[in-house]
Amino acid sequence: ARWEVNKTIEREKRLGHVLPETLEVGAMLETPSLAFAPQKFFDEVDFISIGGNDLKQFFFAADRENELVRRRYDTLNVSFLSLMERIVERCDISDTPLSFCGEDAGRPVEALCLAAMGIRTLSMRPASIGPVKSLLLRCNLTEVRKIIADARHRGDQSVRPAVMDWLRNQT
């Protein structure tokens, strides 16, 4: 894709057309396999945005539109958070900006855990900004990260109960 963009820019330059001052080429990470792409992929993109809704659907191999099964798959599942951690680490190595977009970015507890895992840019509906921001400002991400690590170490399937208990004791 980058080769095609560069080829097009060169063609436009030859034709004398006005070129953009800056042009960023990024990727939507929506399939689990992309988290395991060669490091060169992470090095060459200008940014990565996790497409949370699709990624979760493919990760759990579940139809997110099917009400009978979609609620069974929790973003705060330890395995899913391990995938998030791997993506964050891969982006950190190459200093690639990372964002998360999708329904979970606008849910305060999920957003808190994603931020604790190292995702610093969350894309959400405007109505979600206040509640998410309020919770993020009240919480210590290092402490939340420790809650997550402890739950993983205990073998919990989801970190949700541990995080909710911790949140209840914060007041």
What's 99's domain CATH number?
Answer: 3.20.20.60
Query: Which residues constitute the domain of residue 112?
Result: 24-168
Residue 79 counted as domain residue:
yes
Q: Is there a domain that residue 1 lies in?
A: no
Is the model's pLDDT at 171 over the cut of 70? Answer: no
Would you say residue 57 lies in a domain? Answer: yes
For the stretch 71-117, pLDDT in tens is: 677 899 999 999 999 999 999 999 999 999 999 999 999 999 999 99
Q: How far, in Å, CA of 125 to CA of 105, rounded?
A: 9
Q: How many structural domains comprise the chain? A: 1
How far apart CA 78 and CA 160 sit, in angstroms, is 9
* 12 in a structural domain: no
Decide if 6 is inside a domain: no
pLDDT in tens, 37-83: 999 999 999 999 999 999 998 999 877 677 766 667 789 999 999 99
For the chain, give the percent of residues with pLDDT over 70: 95
Is residue 40 domain-resident? yes
Whole-number pLDDT of residue 63: 73
> Does residue 13 form part of some domain?
no
Is 82 contained in some domain?
yes
